[in-house]
Amino acid sequence: MLITAPSPAFNSPPSVNHYWLGSGWNRYVSKRGVEFKRALALSAKASNITPTEKQVCLSVVWHKKDNRRRDIDNILKPILDALNGIAYFDDSQVSELFVKKEQGAQESLEITIKEIQ
């Protein structure tokens, strides 16, 4: 199952530092986080993805167009959360995870999900 989309909200995932807002015990998903989750959900549904009960391998390739330093692991939580109930029932089903960050002419995000037998 491959998910790609031209939506700017989908192509540029928020880092975990901008995904959660609030302080102390009062934490909530930011507006940008909500928009990203919605865009990713729409792209996944357009790809006819349905939730699986099996363990999955998730592969993420993030093409970024600028030279800003960003930690690759900070984009994972928004992606994993957005796919809950869409590609799998819970992100605890992700048993394998591959992430790659590349320079590109434009921002894009490719997500491949494979069931593990």
Give the tens place of pLDDT for each residue, 27-45. 888 998 898 888 888 888 8
Phi/psi at 80 (nearest 5 deg)? -60, -45
CA atoms of 75 and 19, how far apart (whole Å): 9
Give the tens place of pLDDT for each residue, 44-101. 888 888 999 999 999 998 888 877 787 888 888 889 988 999 999 999 999 999 999 8
Topology of the domain comprising 2-115: 60s Ribosomal Protein L30; Chain: A; (3.30.1330)
- Nearest Cα residue to 75 out of 85, 60, 65, 86: 60
Query: Which pTM does this prediction carry?
Result: 0.81
> Residue 11: its pLDDT value, please?
62
> Residue 1: its pLDDT value, please?
65
What residues does each domain of the chain span?
A: 2-115
